[in-house]
Amino acid sequence: MISNKYEMTTEENIFCAKRILVDSVYKQANLEGIAVTFAQTQDILNNVNVNGITPNEISKVCCLRDGWHYLLDHLHKPTDLIFMEELHELVARFDVPYQYLGRLRTEDVLISGTSWRPEIPNADKIFRRLSELAKITDDTERALSIGLYIMRAQPFKDGNKRIGSFAINKELIEKGRGIFNVPVERDGQFKAMLVDYYETDNMGPLKKWIYDHCLDGTTLAPKIDAMPTKETLTARLAENQEKIRMQERNGTERTEPDRGDR
């Protein structure tokens, strides 16, 4: 179980997300194979011409920005399939033909780095699974579970990693639990662990890695002490019992009359 790393208000988390929007788009673009620098990303989002970046790549960077704007404007909508379909129409419009935007795929897809293939998505099955994951009480655990599930299920023809990332961030920001971004220098490690998760369907190690390296915020959540072991509880009980016996003995000595005064 992944505990909460940050504890902010929703308003504080929204402020942080807007403040580092360029950085988030820069990191997401690189994760998608668009080799832009932070400065180039900033120029693109400010409508400045950038040399060395193709018009298609510039459009994809702008799509990521639009995805963030949509997320922050619809933060309190359910993180369900309808939300993700609407988001997909924005962020993938330069990746797939129009007829595939916001629609579940109906054919197989290839996954880079593995021979594993996801099954053809079924809307009812995805709806039920998302409803189950939405019941997870821990905010960070729920956010990562929903986002990673979408990445592995591959419901759309393309852009599933982006949709999963936005789903994680929506859940985190709404509850004040920080922001998810993969640092550019850890891009390769994230993708390798993602492939391992795809093949094993075990998201535990990837969740822990994300918690350690990919979550950011301003106010750390208070740490919860680990549950004491049986040996520790036994030792504490013995110590308390000894203290009680000492107190009883001391009380007896104070109340016993002085026989020498008789």
75 shares its domain with 183: yes
* Domain span including residue 244: 230-261
32 shares its domain with 90: yes
Q: What are phi and psi of 80, to 5 degrees?
A: -115, -175
248 shares its domain with 121: no
pLDDT of residue 220: 85
Within a domain: 4: no
pLDDT tens-place string over residues 170-214: 999 999 999 999 999 999 999 999 999 999 999 999 999 999 999
CATH code where residue 163 lies: 1.10.3290.10
Within a domain: 22: yes
Mean pLDDT score of the chain, rounded to an integer?
Answer: 90
pLDDT tens-place string over residues 49-79: 899 999 999 999 999 999 999 999 999 999 9
Within a domain: 223: no
> pLDDT at residue 226 above 70?
no
> pLDDT at residue 221 above 90?
no
- For residues 4-35, one letter each, b for 16 or more C-beta atoms within 10 angstroms of the residue's C-beta and e for the rest, the string is bbbbbeeebbbebbeeebbbbbbbbbbbbebe
> pLDDT at residue 237 above 90?
no
149 shares its domain with 249: no
pLDDT tens-place string over residues 106-122: 999 999 899 999 999 99
**Which of 92-96, 132-136, 163-167, 230-234 has the lowest average pLDDT?**
230-234
Percentage helix, strand, coil, to 5, in the chain? 60, 0, 35
Contacts of 81 (CB under 8 A, 6+ apart): 123, 126, 127, 130, 155
Counted domains in the chain: 2
